[in-house]
Structure 1
Amino acid sequence: MRDQEPGPGHPERRLSTKEAAELLGVKPETVYAYVSRGQLSSRRAPGGRGSTFDAKEVEALARRNRRDGGAGAGGSGAAGGPGRELAVRTRITLIDKDRYYFRGVDATELAARHSYEEVAEWLWTGRLRPGATFTAPESAVAVARSAVGALPGHSTPTDRLRVAAIAAAAADPLRFDLSEEAVLGTARVLIPTLVAALPPVRLTHRDEGPLAHRLWGRLSGRPADEASLRVLDTALGLLGDHDLAASTLAVRVAASARAHAYAAVSAGLGVIEGPLHGAASGLAHRLLLDVLDHGDAAPVIAEELRAGRRVPGLGHRLYPGEDPRARALFALLDDLPHAAPALAAARDIEATAARHHPLHANVDLALAVLTASSGMPATAGETIFAVARTAGWIAHALEEYGERPLRMRPSGQYVGPRPPRPLP
C-alpha cells in the first residue's frame, strides 16, 4: 500500500523506499544512490523513520531507465547505468533541437530585444528589470585592479578574471551570506567588477552605461558604433547560459558544497580555459585569420584535416542542425560593413568543410567573425564568453543553494587491484 494516497491533505502521492525500489527494479540502497546524484528527491517519512519519494519522480525515472536500457545506479556512467550521464533538474535553460529557452522564453528573441543585464535578471529571478544596469563600488574595483595589475604581462584574460573574482571575494566580508537577495547583490557587483578589472585597450574607454559598452574598450582599440555594440551586447545575452555545460556543472558542485557565489564563479572560470569550452572561439579566430590571409578556406581546412585536428567553429553536440546562437549573431553581423570579409571567410569555411563532413557553424565561429572584424585579439571571444556566462553561473548557484547540500557527489567505480594487498 502507498504510504500517502492523494487527498485533500496530500496533493502528491508518496512512495516508501521499498515501493520506489520495486518500481525502479533496483535494491533499496540504489534508490539512495539516485538521491545522492540528484535524480530523485526524498523527504523524511512522518515520525522520522525512513524516507518517502514523489511517485511522479520515481515513475519518470523508471521510464528513463527503460528507455536508456538499464536501471542500475552503479554502472559506468556518472549517474549510474551503462554510459548514463548525470541529470540535474533545472528551471533555467531548455535546449530543444535547434532552439534554446531561458525559463521558457526563446533565448535568441530575449537577447535580441533586451540588454545583457536584463537577460541576466531574467535568468536569476524569472522577472525582467527594464533598464537594469550593474555598477560596482570603487573599493571593490580598486582591489580587483590591484590584484590583476600584479599579474605577469603574458597572463590570459581568464587568468585576470579569476584573480579579479578572488580579490573581490576577499574584499567582501559578507560573502558567506547565501540568501537569494545577498547572492543577487553579489552578482550585480561582481560582473561589472570583472569587466572593470580588465586593462583597457582604448584610453578613452567608457566605464559607465551598458556593460557591453564598458567591455568593448577592453577588447578593441577601435571606436565602436552602435551596431557593433549591439552585436556585442546580443552575444553576451545569447551566451548567458547553455544548460549544464562543463563549467556550469563545476559551479553547481561548488554551490552544492555551499561555496559562496564568488567561489562558485571561480570554479566556472577554472573550467572554461580548456580548448573544448570557453577557449574554443580563439581557435576559430585564428582559423578565420588564416583563411583571410590565404583568400581561400580550402588549403587551410586541408591542413587541419591533414594534421588530424577537428576544424574549430563547426558542429555542436547538442544541435543536429544550426546552432541558434550562431544564426542570431550572423544575422546581426550581416549589417556590419566592416565584418563582410570575415563573414565571407566563415561561410567559406563552412561550405569547404561540408565536402568532408556536413557540419554547421557554431557560436565560436560567429564570435570569431565579431572579434576578427573588430580588431580584437584571439582571446577576446574567451573574455566575452566568461563575462556572459557569469550570469548563468549565478543562476545555477542560486538554484543549487535551494537543493540538499552535497548532493553532487557521484560514486566512483573502483577498477584497481582488489584489496587486501600487502604493504609496499
Structure 2
Amino acid sequence: LWDIPKKKIAGTFDFFESIEKYAPLKESFKCSPKDDIALLLYTAGTTGRAKGVMETHFNLVYNSLTHFHASEEVMGGRKEVNYSIMPMFHTAGYLLHTLPTFYVGGTVIPMPLFDLEETFRLIQAYGVNVLFAPPTLFIALMSREDLLHKYDLSTLELTIGCGAPVPPAVQDQWQSLTSIGLTNGWGMTETNSGGSMCIPGSGKEKADSIGYPVYAEMKIVDERGHIVPRNEQGEILFRGLQVAKGYWNKPEETKETFQNDGWLRTGDRGYIDKEDFVYFVDRMKDLIIASGYNIAPVEVENVIYEHPAVAEAAVVGIPHEYRGETVKAFVVLKDKFKGKISEGEIRDFCKNKLATFKVPRIIEFRDTLPKNLVGKVLRRVLREEEMKKAK
C-alpha cells in the first residue's frame, strides 16, 4: 500500500532532485509574511475551471493557530493524533488538520491512497482522535459494519465533515453506529480551509449548521450587497486574516471575488439564524430554477439520503422546455438493495418530505458518481452529460 512508485510528469520538477541540484543560500532570505506566497493551491473546480489561489505565509500561520484553538476546548489539552486523508494539493491537506497538529506537537498519519480496512486498522493502532474527511469517507466506513465491530474507534473525539456538506441522515447513522458526533465545517481554498466550524461536544453546535466563523466574520447579503435579515437566504461573504491574496494571473476574477474592504464573495448561498449559527444552502451556480422557483440540490439530496436503501445521491437541474429546468437525481444504492428499489419508490419517498416542485422528476440509478480526487461529487460533470444528451 505504501510502496508507491515515482512517476515522471511532463512539465514538473522533482522536489528532492531540485534540492540536491542547488546549493543552500549563503545568506538568510527576507520574507514578507503577508505578501509573499507560500503555496499556490488550486480550487476544486466543481462548478467551473480551477483557479490558482495565492496563499501567503501569514495565511498558513494564522490558520494553523486558529484551527487548533477552535477545537482546544473539546480536546482538553490532549495531544492530537490526526488521520489525514486529504491530499497535499488540496488546502485541507495542510490545515485539516496537519499544520495545526504540528503546531501543538501532535501526530499526523498521512494516507496517500485510501484503503478501507487499512483506515480502520490505523485509527485503532495509533489511537486517532481527530478526523476531518469528506462525507464519502464516513459513508465508506459505515458500509462495513463488520469492520466497525472488529476495530476499536473509541479514541475518536473530533469528527468533522469537509469538502462537501454531510447529509443529516449520514450524521445520524454515524452517531448511531459509533456514538461519536459528526458535524459540518465550511471553507474554501480562498479561506485556507476552515472558515467556519461546528465543533462536536463544544456545547455550541447545531448538527445541520456549519457552525460559527473561525476567528473571522461572515454576513449574508442580497444581490445589491445589502445585509439580509436573520433566516433569510443570500450570498455568504467572509472576512478574516486567513483570506488568501488572490488568484494567480487572474486580476479580473481577483477583483470580483476579493473585495477592497476585505470581504470575500464566496459564491455560496446560506443564512444565519437568531443564535448566530451559519447555514450552507448550496453553491449559487448549482441552484436549480424550475418554473421560477429556486431549488437547492443539497436540500433534495439530504432527503434522498434518508432513504435506507441509498448510499449516495446527487441532484442537478436539466433543461426542460416548459419549466426551464427540472430536477434530476442520480442515485447509488447500497449493494443489498440493488435491483430491488424502483425510481417510483424514491420519488414517492421524496413526495412525503418535499414541496411538489422540488421532487425529482427523473431518477437514474448508477453504480458510481463522478468525483474529484478528494471525493467531492462533481455535479458539473453530470450536468455536462445531460446537456450533451439534450443536443
**Range of TM-score over shorter length:** under 0.3
- Could you state the TM-score of these two structures normalised by the residue count of structure 1? 0.24
More helix by share: 1
Q: Give the number of the structure whose alpha-carbon radius of gyration is greater.
A: 1
Q: Normalising by structure 2, what TM-score?
A: 0.25
> Which fold has the larger relative contact order, with Cα–Cα distance below 8 Å and residues 6 or more apart in sequence?
1
